[in-house]
Amino acid sequence: MEPLTLITEIQPLAPTDPKSGSQHQRLPFAQGQLLQGVVSAHNGPQQFTIDIGGLQVAAESNAQLQVGQKLDLQVASLAPRIELQIAAPNSVNQRINASVHLLGQQAAILPEILNLATEAQQLPHISATAQETLQLFGDTLAKTPGSGSATTLPLIAQLLDKATMAASAANNASSPAGVNNEIGSLLKQLAASPALSPQLAAQASQLAAVFAPAADQEAIAHTALSGATARLLGQSEEAVPNAALLQTLFQQLTTTIQDNAPLPATHPLRQLLAFLGQVPGASSPESANQPSGPQLETIFNRLGMNLERLLASNNREEAVQTLKFALLELSQQAAATEKSTTQADQLTKTIELYQLLQIRLSGDAVLFQPLPFSFLQQGYLLVDADQTKDQEQNNDGNRSKTAPNVALHLQLEGLGNMEIDIRQDNDRIAVRFLTEDTERAHYMAGFRDELKQWLTAGNLESVQFLTGAKDPTKVLLEKLVHGVTGMIDARA
């Protein structure tokens, strides 16, 4: 087989940094790193300019390169000089095809981060930074809306109910000892629920001991709801509470405790209220499992999709805070169990798949952003970063810039495949939902009014609910194989 062509003498085409005095900037490459470049200029015999992720570099190669040619590259050497190897045709696609099945397994893989975070705490050689990173991702990514609803939400409803009774009794100067024991029992049951993070489970156990220090809390197997709460729940204590009921109960508890001025800030009931405010599904059921914008930004930045670049630029402090670094550290620990090592390897391969997809699609000015949440069977975001075709002439002949097209490709349990195309022009937003069939489209159309309330970046100008959504993995493969990376125009 003919050896692959090397591109050598890689130098950045950028102004010299006067502070450093160096004639060359250090390129953010790492050994073995996969890149995609475009030949942007032919400067002379064997002299070319190559655009690599927006970075213009001067290169020397004896390959017959053509201006506009797209190249799949791999970093072959960093010393004594940088050498890039032109990879075999479709090599990146082949690596993607070998691991693309992991996209459909994220709902099963991501919740395992919580288990890895717990095990990492028991390993003496795992750094504190890696433990914190695993816990952060476990608490955020592994959450599912309504997580543990079959067992956790009824416990929360009973806790809110009993806490309100205890607060009312404190107002009336009566003894709530029996209710306190019931609260302690419920807290102990909640602490044993896998839906709670280790930190919240520890808080629940501590509060259980405060409310029911006596040994008889083990004997309290079930607590009855008050009449008012039972009526709110539909006369059935076995029913799973809905979001409206839990929010009503939390508001009742908050009002009752706030009205009781004599209760000090350290009173167990105030501690219980603060604890329940952190429990998913208690204080704000509709948004308890939805990370905030800054939290999402932190999660995406710390996935580790830029780990190699961070290490190559000597930014170790930021690199060690990424999930990929923590997983690599965990998998290298001899004390780690075979199961945890396998889980860490699977998650690492998933992140590497995300990296490959970003590399492959970036050459077509398309940004790939994974949506790694366990409530999605599959999920990713595509942004058409080429805005030149989205510019329209104003009446004065000038061109106005519009936001890039955005498309979410999702697969959810119950709803199946879904595509959401978003088009924004200044403060006007057009959204198109594509589902698998007419029945699902009609169901989604029922949330039109809620969509208007949730949109804060502009006004909803139009919204459509249509059919034709494809499997997200199939959509990606079509783009990779056929090069169809243009976004769907949502203006229609």
Amino acid symbol at 60:
E
CA distances from 211 to 163, 205, 251, 398 (A): 11, 10, 21, 70
71-80, 267-276, 439-448: the lowest-pLDDT one: 71-80
Given a cut of 70, whether residue 242 has pLDDT beyond it is no
Sheet harboring 406-412: ordered strands across? Answer: 366-370, 378-384, 406-412, 416-425, 428-435, 459-467
217-231, 283-297, 474-488: the lowest-pLDDT one: 217-231
Cα-flanking dihedrals φ and ψ of residue 23, to 5°? -85, -10
Yes or no: say if 368 and 357 are a contact pair by the CB < 8 Å rule: yes
pTM, full prediction: 0.57
Distance linking the first and last C-alpha atoms of the chain: 50
29-33, 76-80, 208-212: the lowest-pLDDT one: 29-33
Instruction: Provide the pLDDT confidence category of residue 244 given band limits of 50, 70 and 90.
Output: low
Given a cut of 60, whether residue 23 has pLDDT beyond it is no
Given a cut of 60, whether residue 197 has pLDDT beyond it is yes
In CATH, which superfamily holds the domain spanning 6-89? Answer: Nucleic acid-binding proteins (2.40.50.140)
Q: What is the largest CA-CA distance in the chain?
A: 94
Q: Where are the domains of the chain?
A: 6-89, 92-143+291-359, 152-276, 376-492
Model confidence pLDDT, tens digit, residues 304-325: 988 887 877 778 889 999 999 9
Model confidence pLDDT, tens digit, residues 200-231: 888 888 898 888 775 444 444 445 555 555 55
Structure confidence at residue 179 (pLDDT): 84
Given a cut of 90, whether residue 419 has pLDDT beyond it is yes
Structure confidence at residue 169 (pLDDT): 77
Structure confidence at residue 64 (pLDDT): 82
Tell me which H or E stretch contains 232.
Answer: helix 227-232
Structure confidence at residue 471 (pLDDT): 92
Structure confidence at residue 225 (pLDDT): 55
Model confidence pLDDT, tens digit, residues 144-179: 444 444 457 778 888 888 888 888 877 665 555 688
Residue range 97-103: mean pLDDT, rounded? 80
Instruction: Provide the pLDDT confidence category of residue 271 given band limits of 50, 70 and 90.
Output: confident
Instruction: Provide the pLDDT confidence category of residue 283 given band limits of 50, 70 and 90.
Output: low
Mean pLDDT of all residues belonging to the chain: 75
